[in-house]
Amino acid sequence: MSRKTYKAGVAALAVAMVVTFASAEGSGANAQQGENQQVETDAAAEEVVPQFTSREVVQPLPVAPQAAAEAEADVEAVSPRQASSLRELVASTPTGGALSDQMECLAGAIYFEARGEPLEGQLAVGQVIVNRTESDSFPSSYCGVVMQRKQFSFVRGGHMPRINRSSPAWLQAKAVARIAHDGSWDSKAQDALYFHARYVRPAWSYRKVATATISSHIFYR
């Protein structure tokens, strides 16, 4: 082989080795770039994974306006009323709206039995009915007490007469009934179970203990 041919072969071999090394470096860079992309992709995936807490999360729910109004009404119903006299308390007691059947019986008895009496006398009549519902000797409801046979003379055939619902006397009876029901004012007939008008003297009255006389009624226990 001539020297010229030998040199040409060596040169060709050198060029081939350089190309081979360059290809190898290029392959390594691409591999490293692929690894970097994989790491970045994994990191991005970790960032968007939601984190959950093991503790319960409680969010308060909004209170509906109607429920809030009912809650305020309940607070008002049980709040103690402050008054310097029974008359002031009656005047400040709400009387609007319809009554329940039981409260209607209590207010009706006060209206028919004592609407001509002073407020103390009206409250005492209401107190007797409340006391009877708490006694084992009488029915346990206001209507049961009021409608019991031969107890209240205004009751006819198990029914009350018609009430003049627009009269001041009825509004007053409703307020007194609420006060008696709530026990928000002490009555002179606090423990009484019976009463009658002063112009009569029923036989049973001799066997009872008189506790108070208020206007035209005498109260007994």
Q: How far apart are CA 153 and CA 112, in angstroms?
A: 9
Residue 73 clears pLDDT 60, i.e. is over it: no
| pLDDT range class, residue 81, cuts 50, 70, 90 | low
Q: How far apart are CA 36 and CA 54, in angstroms?
A: 34
- Give, in degrees to the nearest 5, the angle at Cα 108 between 105 and 113: 125
pLDDT at site 164? 95
Mean pLDDT of 202-219: 96
Mean pLDDT of 81-109: 93
Indicate the range of 39-48, 56-65, 118-127 predicted with least confidence. 56-65
Burial class (CB in 10 A: 0-12, 13-18, 19+), 213: middle
User: Directed axis angle between helix 101-114 and helix 168-182, to 10°?
Assistant: 120
Burial per residue of 29-53, b for 16 or more beta-carbon CB atoms within 10 angstroms, e otherwise:
eeeeeeeeeeeeeeeeeeeeeeeee
Of 104, 112, 117, 121, whose CA–CA distance to 178 is shortest? 104
Q: Is the pTM of the predicted complex or chain greater than 0.75?
A: no
Sheet holding 210-214, edge to edge: 194-197, 217-220, 210-214
Percent of the chain with pLDDT over 90: 60
pLDDT at site 97? 87
Mean pLDDT of 28-41: 43
Q: Which amino acid would we find at residue 213?
A: T
pLDDT at site 82? 79
Q: How far apart are CA 90 and CA 172, in angstroms?
A: 7
Mean pLDDT of 165-181: 97
Residue 172: phi, psi to the nearest 5? -65, -40
- Copy the structure tokens of residue 120: 């103390």
| pLDDT tens track for 52-70 | 434 443 444 444 444 444 3
| pLDDT tens track for 143-168 | 999 999 999 999 999 999 999 999 99
Residue 186 clears pLDDT 50, i.e. is over it: yes
Please check whether residue 179 is in contact with residue 109, taking contact to mean a CB–CB distance below 8 angstroms. no
| pLDDT range class, residue 113, cuts 50, 70, 90 | very high
- Copy the structure tokens of residue 167: 């009269």
Mean pLDDT of 62-91: 60
Please check whether residue 197 is in contact with residue 217, taking contact to mean a CB–CB distance below 8 angstroms. yes
